Amino acid sequence: MGYLDFPQALPRLNSNNSEKKSDPDTGYNCIAFAAGDRFNWWWPIGRYWPPGVPREETLDAFVQAFNTLGYETCSGGTLTEDTEKIAIYATPSGKPTHAARQLECGKWTSKIGEDDDIHHTTPQDVEGPGYGEAAIFMGRPRDIS
Amino acid sequence: MIETRPGNIISIKKGSEPKGVHLTAGTQPDDSASVKSLLSDKPLAWPNRTRPLADKTASELPESARERFSRLAQEWREQSGFMSSSTDMTLVPAYQHIIGMGSVAVPLMLRQLRDDPNPAHWFSALEAITEANPVPDECRGNIKAMAEAWVQWGKREGCI
């Protein structure tokens, strides 16, 4: 399957606002990909989670997870030259579902579950019943690795 | 479905094995009741059977455990392939149905973990069915290591 095979979950994604960048890989998910990790599946329950961070499916726990990588919450996803940003998505009830990372060109990159890595134009392109909405933006100085 | 054309008569003969009716072309039907039975959608009156398996379409044959697992695994991919939440992935109906298959699904899942370079996340299902958890804490999230831990468990248990 490919990333465009979930139109009910991701109705805004299409071939005009996104493109595939890698093949499916069950070894890592969107949270790991946003964190720069292609070797682990990040999730507080049953998978890798940064040591010391509560293993909870809450936005606060996810913020703390990205705090361990130097990210701090910021106001939005506007591109700034010296800041690398991520977006954490959540359902209306506040349960985290997805994360995306902003590229230097201003586009965003996401791992769609077990499926492809993609580039997409805006953070809103992956909003919908599957992921909810971009709930929190975080940023860190771009030179941190 | 039986079709007849002018000049092409279907004959019905009662045979001894298997009991019921046979079809041959070229002679007059000698049992109008049998013809009606054959042409109807109702099953023939075979002893202790409805219709022979050979007469059933593929969709009517009982689904083997392997076939059912393959179907449910595909449905699970369709239902959960976009998800990142390891908990949400296990809550979709197809995954729950696989858990419901019980121990018969264990070797099927283990073989997939062994053979697929992109192993599916069968870990929760295996744990639910077997009540085992051979994955070391430090391997959580390393999907290939988790798969290997379960494969080794399966070999020790004689499942694969």
Q: In sequence order, what are the residues at sequence separation of 6 or more whose Cβ sits closer than 8 angstroms to the Cβ of residue B52?
A: B18, B46
Q: B52: pLDDT confidence band, cut at 50, 70 and 90?
A: low
User: Does A85 fall in a domain?
Assistant: yes
For residue A108, what are the domain limits? Answer: 24-141
Contact assignment for A113 to B78 by CB distance below 8 Å: no
Q: Where are the domains of chain B?
A: 10-57, 65-157
Contacts of B79 in chain A (CB under 8 A): none
Query: What gap in Å lies between CA B21 and CA B98, rounded to an integer?
Result: 41
Residue B8, SS3 per DSSP: strand
Interface of B with A (CB under 8 A): 77-78, 80-88, 118-121, 123-124, 140-144
- Angstrom CA distances, B158 to B37, B130, B143, stand at 51, 13, 22
For A38-91, what is each residue's pLDDT tens digit? 999 999 999 999 999 999 999 999 999 999 999 999 999 999 989 999 999 999
Chain segment A13-36, per-residue pLDDT in tens: 999 999 999 989 999 999 999 999
Domain annotation covers residue A14 = no
Write down the ipTM of this complex: 0.92
For residue A95, count CB atoms less than 10 angstroms from its CB and return exposed for 0-12, middle for 13-18, buried for 19 or more: middle
Total structural domains in chain A? 1
Tell me: pLDDT of B97 over 70: yes
Which residue in chain A has the smallest CA separation from B143? A27
Interchain contact, B118 vs A27, CB within 8 Å? yes
Backbone angles phi, psi at A110, to 5 degrees: -140, 150
To probe the interface with B, which of A20, A101, A114, A116 has the most B CB atoms within 10 Å?
Answer: A114
- pLDDT higher for B64 or B33? B64
In a domain, A18, yes or no: no
pTM (2 d.p.): 0.79
